[in-house]
Amino acid sequence: MTSKQGRALDLADSKILIAGAASLVGSHTADRLIDAGAKEVILLDNFAFGTPEAIAHLDGHPRVRLVKADLMRLPAVLAATEGVDGVLHLAAYMTLGFSQTPWEAIDVNLRGLQNMLEACRVNRIGKLLFASSNAVYGYGSGIRGALVEDGPFHTAGAPPAAILYGASKIMGEQLCRQAHQKHGLDYVALRYSTVYGERQHYRAANALYIMDTYDRVCRGEPPVMPGDGTESKHFVNVHDVARANLAAFVSSATDVAVNVSGPAPVTTGEIVRMVLDYCGSELEPVMQPDPPGTVRLTSGGAFHIPHERAGEVIGWQPEIGMKEGIARLLQWRESQGTR
């Protein structure tokens, strides 16, 4: 696929703002941007979900500035983005938020992004990366085979909050496209699959499964496998996600959406096995059959999320396999001590 050509940032000469920075993806991307010599990295967060711990290691860094601000307040966003060259827009509610507080979730995922796009226009920011999601492909029985970037949004049988979250990401991508068409903003929508890694928070249900399994094994309890353990998951390690973000900033790709996924999908059974191996445990997993009428966010069927387009348009491919990624996550988890 040949992509449109837009602005490519020279990171050593750029100020980058990360919205929703006090997070798994935000903090790792900040680390990489500093390593790449970015002139300034502005960490914007309202700490509604973000935690000071996620960015504590950057405290006092001469090229890092923390801005505590809320995306819902346009004047604050305008002020924070003055003189900025590129924006990584991560701030969003996930599915749980669309279930618990749908008003706020819609506000932040749509109006929050609109405010940022308006700030890009006003402050003449040339490039924005939008954190999209494989949720744009939806859920349920339609999710099988390769989920390529041109595919449709499946919703049959999925719960309202999941559909609302996925649709908010679809709309977010289109708001970026409109800003591109109307105001010349260059953007790349990065459709992350399930992100996991060090500094993992406890909000993302899918990634949480690795840590929950580990916590059970540490307590001497057998891991629990939903269904029969054959359910597919497609993770991506946060280090690979941070690399993808930098690749998108420095590439000239624009007006395009790309999948950002790990080398290959795994099953829940394989994850459990990797965690047990890491722990050197003899425990055997317990299968937990679904109650009748259960709807899963991923289907029971086999699917995978190809990342070939990301290779073609931003020159990125994932490097960290699940076994290595789980080991790094759990080493970090151990270093944190008991929660």
Residue ranges that bind a second copy, judged by CB under 8 A: 99, 102-103, 106, 110-111, 114, 138, 142, 150-156, 160-161, 163-164, 167-168, 170-171, 174-175, 177-178, 181
CB of 174 to a second copy, least distance (A): 4
Q: Give 149 or 240: the residue with its C-beta nearer to a second copy.
A: 149
Rounded CA-CA distance 16/140 in Å is 37
CB of 183 to a second copy, least distance (A): 12
Q: Give 106 or 211: the residue with its C-beta nearer to a second copy.
A: 106
Query: Is residue 227 left, alpha or beta, with left meaning phi > 0 and alpha meaning psi from -120 to 50?
Result: left
Q: Are 16 and 26 in contact (CB under 8 A)?
A: no
Q: Give 84 or 163: the residue with its C-beta nearer to a second copy.
A: 163
Rounded CA-CA distance 255/132 in Å is 13
CB of 135 to a second copy, least distance (A): 12
Secondary structure (3-state) at 331: helix
Q: Give 180 or 199: the residue with its C-beta nearer to a second copy.
A: 180
Q: Which residues are CB-neighbours of 73 under 8 A, at least 6 positions away? A: 115
CB of 113 to a second copy, least distance (A): 10
Alpha carbons within 13 A on the beta-carbon side of 221? 9
Q: Give 5 or 181: the residue with its C-beta nearer to a second copy.
A: 181
CB of 181 to a second copy, least distance (A): 7
Secondary structure (3-state) at 106: helix
Q: Give 57 or 111: the residue with its C-beta nearer to a second copy.
A: 111
CB of 130 to a second copy, least distance (A): 13
Q: Are 205 and 165 in contact (CB under 8 A)?
A: no
Of 38, 1, 2, which is closest to residue 21 (Cα–Cα)? 38
DSSP state of 31: H
At 199, list the tokens: 């500094």
What does 212-245 look like in DSSP terms, one character per residue? HHHHHHHTTPPPEEEBTS--EE-EEEHHHHHHHH
Q: Give 21 or 106: the residue with its C-beta nearer to a second copy.
A: 106
CB of 166 to a second copy, least distance (A): 9
